[in-house]
């Protein structure tokens, strides 16, 4: 645990931690020396040697005072060390979370990450003072007592030494068992938090669906797993601590029986025997106490293990010297990619010309959104190359891609803040007026107008006060504000009211100007006005590509798709002149 804490700490935290450990060790050794001094003191008292007793008493008082001073210093440094170590752990965790590929977040990690960032890191950082101090004292103080015992009676000391390996083995067995069970328990707790968060978020859907049994079952199963894991932890902990205490008591019994035997045989002074008995008790008591604390080390190790796992994850490869793109075209060359064993895209090739709009259509699940995620470098393809401006994306680097791309996805997340601030995050360097101008181009002004506080109206958690179409308009405004040369737009699939339909059309027109756009298109207006349409075939490739007019003239799959959509929506094209 200490090795891992030192490894994750900043140099300052490391220095404090080492100083804390040094004072903890000094306290424990001095405490052992105090106990040892009891033997000559008791011997002097039993034999009536008051002068010697006074000398030992003074020496004992001085050592006890030094021990108290070391203890006080350890606690003072300990508090500062805990804060510094916590700071280091959270900084490392935070740095890592922003480095990890977005793909890592595709699986719900909120439970595990929250648990690690709160309880886990806090427990691990305070463990040296709260747990390790007592464990070290539990072993170093008796160790000092044992070493000193050889000065008084080597036979009793040897008998006691013989019990040490047994105690050590049982302690390790106890700690390993608790570590295993605690890891299981931590995983179960993270799973339960994920399920409960999911259950809370899905309430609107669950209440309208008549049967909420699936969500109920998922939460129920997670709670039961957590309950089982907790029971396992208690059973292992209880059995382990009982066994360990038993072994420690056995060591004390060995000293009592052997000491009594030697005293009766006359080879051990009764006064020394009694004094050594006191030492025997002092030897075993802290060890027995530290057994119960083995679980604390296990909990801290679980949190540190989770942090190690996060740090061991491979981030996407980054170039030593990022290359410059020639323009803002996007090209896929024989790209194959899937989320599991089966590829979603197979040997997919196309070019989206710089400054033009490419619309992607195709059956549900054919990989339209996946194409945009590969452009944004949420993932790298398994085979083939994605190029921006002629440069393979890994040679541009994630930071350059993030700067060049403005994504507008379907699941737009808005912060529980004002409408204006939600647009502002697209480019915090701009002024309020510039933000309002960009937001107006995306027709967000209409939304602000209808709300009581205008631009300063709050949008609610996740943007719950706005409709899906309105949220997407805010997201397009962010993209306009960012002024990135590439816009990736995943149009809302849900039917939009006429106001939103027109406003989104206008917002897209505003975003199009001079930018390369890839749109997962659902609106007929977007599809027919695109400079290029790619129709995916549902097998990972492209069935047809061209302009709307070319594809209609070809009278193939796209023409059929178009007619069906027009029939379904009752859409009519009226000549403008
Ligand atoms: N993070 C993910 N993990 C596992 N599978 C995924 C993930 N994201 C998408 N998929 C799967 O990959 C396939 C393609 O998904 P994608 O979202 O790209 O399709 P789409 O054409 O955009 O679909 P739709 O039109 O329904 O939104 C689907 O089968 C989907 O279930």
Residue 321, domain member (yes or no): no
In this structure, the answer to whether residues 514 and 487 fall within a common structural domain is yes
In this structure, the answer to whether residues 130 and 190 fall within a common structural domain is yes
Confidence (pLDDT) at 210: 52
Confidence (pLDDT) at 572: 59
Residue 319, domain member (yes or no): no
Determine the average pLDDT of the residues in 522-538. Answer: 89
**Structure tokens that stand for 476 in this block:** 């397009």
In this structure, the answer to whether residues 52 and 183 fall within a common structural domain is yes
Residue bearing the bigger pLDDT, 109 or 250: 250
Q: Best mutation site among 337, 338, 339 for ligand 1, i.e. most ligand atoms within 8 A of its Cβ?
A: 339
Residue 256, domain member (yes or no): yes
In this structure, the answer to whether residues 295 and 346 fall within a common structural domain is no
- Nearby residues of 60 by Cβ (< 8 Å), 6 or more positions away: 34, 37, 38, 41
Domain containing residue 306: CATH number: 1.20.1560.10
Residue 575, domain member (yes or no): no
State yes or no: pLDDT of 574 exceeds 60.
Answer: no
Confidence (pLDDT) at 408: 84
Interatomic CA distance for residues 181 and 235, integer angstroms: 10
Determine the average pLDDT of the residues in 398-424. Answer: 84
State yes or no: pLDDT of 165 exceeds 80.
Answer: yes
Least confident range from 34-43, 122-131, 277-286, 450-459: namely 277-286
The Å distance, Cα 367 to ligand 1 centre, comes to 6
- In this prediction, residue 212 has a pLDDT band, given cuts at 50, 70 and 90, of low
Percent of the chain with pLDDT over 70: 89
In this structure, the answer to whether residues 59 and 192 fall within a common structural domain is yes
* Ligand 1 neighbours by CB, cut-off 6 Å: 106, 339, 344, 362, 364-370, 520
Which of 285, 312, 339 is at the close of a domain?
312
> Residue holding tokens 């899905």?
202
> Residue holding tokens 């000559």?
40
The Å distance, Cα 366 to ligand 1 centre, comes to 7
Percent of the chain with pLDDT over 90: 21
Cα separations (Å) of 548 from 3, 155, 496, 502, 553?
Answer: 64, 98, 23, 20, 9
Residue 19, domain member (yes or no): yes
Residue bearing the bigger pLDDT, 544 or 118: 544
State yes or no: pLDDT of 205 exceeds 70.
Answer: no
Residue 536 CA: which ligand 1 atom is closest? 21
Domain containing residue 443: CATH number: 3.40.50.300
State yes or no: pLDDT of 495 exceeds 70.
Answer: no
Which of 312, 346, 380 is at the close of a domain?
312
Model pLDDT for residues 217-264, shown as the tens digit of each residue: 777 787 888 888 888 877 877 777 778 778 777 877 887 888 888 888
Residue 576, domain member (yes or no): no
State yes or no: pLDDT of 278 exceeds 50.
Answer: yes
In this structure, the answer to whether residues 258 and 403 fall within a common structural domain is no
Residue 318, domain member (yes or no): no
Question: What's the pTM value of the predicted model, to 2 decimals?
Answer: 0.64
Q: Which is nearest to 518 in space by CA: 411, 373, 346, 377?
A: 373
Cβ burial of 188 (10 Å; 0-12, 13-18, 19+) is: buried
Interatomic CA distance for residues 232 and 343, integer angstroms: 41
In this structure, the answer to whether residues 223 and 82 fall within a common structural domain is yes
DSSP string for 175-230: HHHHHHHHHHHHHHHHHHHHHHHHHHHTHHHHHHSS--HHHHHHHHHHHHHHHHHH
Q: Best mutation site among 109, 365, 372 for ligand 1, i.e. most ligand atoms within 8 A of its Cβ?
A: 365
CB atoms closer than 10 angstroms to residue 312: 7
Residue 373 CA: which ligand 1 atom is closest? 18
Least confident range from 82-86, 147-151, 189-193, 198-202: namely 198-202
Residue 106 CA: which ligand 1 atom is closest? 1
Report which protein residue has its CA nearest ligand 1's atom 26. Answer: 364
Report which protein residue has its CA nearest ligand 1's atom 13. Answer: 365
Confidence (pLDDT) at 214: 64
State yes or no: pLDDT of 111 exceeds 70.
Answer: no
The Å distance, Cα 299 to ligand 1 centre, comes to 38
Cβ burial of 398 (10 Å; 0-12, 13-18, 19+) is: buried
The Å distance, Cα 370 to ligand 1 centre, comes to 6
* Domain tally, the chain: 2
In this structure, the answer to whether residues 159 and 240 fall within a common structural domain is yes
Cβ burial of 90 (10 Å; 0-12, 13-18, 19+) is: middle
State yes or no: pLDDT of 148 exceeds 50.
Answer: yes
- In this prediction, residue 201 has a pLDDT band, given cuts at 50, 70 and 90, of low
Model pLDDT for residues 112-144, shown as the tens digit of each residue: 677 777 777 777 777 777 777 777 777 788 888
In this structure, the answer to whether residues 387 and 284 fall within a common structural domain is no
Confidence (pLDDT) at 293: 67
> Residue holding tokens 């749109």?
519
Specify which of 173-182, 356-365, 462-471 reaches the highest per-range mean pLDDT: 356-365
State yes or no: pLDDT of 576 exceeds 50.
Answer: no
Model pLDDT for residues 8-61, shown as the tens digit of each residue: 888 888 898 899 889 999 998 998 898 888 888 888 888 888 888 899 999 999
In this structure, the answer to whether residues 413 and 491 fall within a common structural domain is yes
The Å distance, Cα 368 to ligand 1 centre, comes to 8
Residue 338 CA: which ligand 1 atom is closest? 12
User: Which residue range(s) make up the domain with 562?
Assistant: 330-569
Confidence (pLDDT) at 518: 94
In this structure, the answer to whether residues 274 and 348 fall within a common structural domain is no
Q: What is the chain's mean pLDDT, rounded?
A: 82
Residue 123, domain member (yes or no): yes
Confidence (pLDDT) at 215: 63
Report which protein residue has its CA nearest ligand 1's atom 25. Answer: 364
Q: Which is nearest to 389 in space by CA: 530, 520, 516, 545?
A: 516
In this structure, the answer to whether residues 187 and 306 fall within a common structural domain is yes
Report which protein residue has its CA nearest ligand 1's atom 2. Answer: 339
Handedness of CA 419, 425, 431, 437 (dihedral sign): negative
The Å distance, Cα 205 to ligand 1 centre, comes to 21
Task: Note the ipTM here.
Answer: 0.97
Q: Best mutation site among 104, 363, 367, 520 for ligand 1, i.e. most ligand atoms within 8 A of its Cβ?
A: 367
């Amino acid at each position: 645990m200490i090795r891992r804490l030192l490894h994750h700490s900043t140099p300052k935290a490391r220095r404090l931690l080492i100083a804390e450990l040094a004072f903890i060790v000094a306290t424990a050794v001095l405490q052992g020396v105090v106990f040892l001094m009891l033997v000559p003191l008791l011997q002097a008292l039993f034999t009536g040697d008051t002068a010697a007793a006074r000398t030992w008493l003074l020496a004992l008082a001085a050592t006890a005072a030094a021990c108290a001073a070391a203890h006080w210093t350890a606690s003072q440094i300990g508090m500062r060390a805990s804060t510094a170590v916590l700071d280091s752990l959270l900084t490392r965790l935070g740095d890592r979370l922003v480095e990890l590929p977005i793909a890592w977040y595709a699986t719900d990690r909120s439970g595990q990450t929250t648990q690690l960032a709160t309880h886990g890191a806090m427990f691990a950082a305070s463990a040296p003072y709260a747990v390790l101090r007592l464990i070290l004292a539990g072993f170093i103080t008796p160790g000092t007592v044992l070493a000193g015992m050889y000065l008084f009676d080597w036979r009793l000391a040897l008998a006691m030494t013989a019990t040490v390996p047994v105690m050590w083995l049982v302690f390790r067995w106890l700690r390993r068992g608790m570590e295993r069970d605690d890891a299981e328990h931590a995983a179960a707790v993270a799973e339960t938090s994920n399920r409960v968060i999911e259950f809370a978020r899905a309430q609107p859907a669950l209440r309208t669906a008549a049967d909420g049994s699936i969500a109920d079952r998922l939460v129920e199963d997670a709670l039961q797993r957590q309950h089982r894991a907790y029971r396992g932890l208690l059973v292992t902990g209880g059995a382990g601590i009982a066994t360990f205490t038993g072994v420690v008591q056995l060591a004390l019994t060995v000293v009592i029986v052997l000491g009594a035997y030697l005293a009766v045989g006359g080879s051990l002074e009764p006064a020394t025997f009694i004094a050594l008995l006191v030492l025997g008790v002092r030897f075993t008591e802290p060890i027995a106490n530290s057994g119960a604390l083995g679980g604390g080390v296990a909990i801290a190790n679980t949190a540190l293990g989770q942090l190690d796992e996060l740090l061991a994850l491979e981030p996407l490869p980054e170039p030593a010297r990022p290359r410059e793109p020639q323009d803002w075209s996007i090209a896929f060359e024989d790209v194959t990619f899937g989320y599991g064993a089966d590829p979603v895209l197979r040997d997919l090739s196309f070019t989206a010309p710089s400054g033009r709009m490419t619309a992607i259509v195709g059956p549900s699940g054919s990989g339209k959104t996946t194409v945009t995620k590969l452009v944004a470098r949420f993932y790298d393809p398994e085979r083939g190359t994605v190029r921006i401006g002629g440069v393979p994306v890994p040679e541009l680097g994630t930071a350059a891609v993030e700067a060049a791309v403005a994504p507008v996805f379907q699941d737009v997340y808005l912060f529980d803040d004002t409408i204006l601030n939600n647009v502002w995050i697209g480019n915090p360097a701009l002024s309020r007026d510039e933000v309002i101008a960009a937001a107006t181009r995306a027709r967000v002004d209409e939304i602000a107008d209808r709300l009581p506080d205008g631009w300063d109206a709050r949008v609610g958690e996740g943007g719950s006060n706005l409709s899906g179409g309105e949220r997407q308009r805010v997201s397009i405004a962010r993209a306009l504000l960012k002024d990135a040369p590439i816009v990736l737009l995943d149009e809302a699939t849900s039917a939009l009211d006429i106001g939103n339909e027109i406003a989104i059309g206008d917002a897209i027109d505003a975003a199009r100007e001079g930018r390369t756009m890839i749109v997962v298109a659902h609106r007929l207006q977007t599809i027919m006005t695109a400079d290029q349409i790619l129709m995916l075939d549902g097998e990972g490739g492209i069935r047809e590509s061209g302009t709307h007019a070319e594809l209609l003239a070809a009278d193939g799959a796209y023409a059929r798709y178009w007619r069906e959509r027009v029939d379904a929506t009752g859409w009519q094209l009226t000549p403008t002149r």
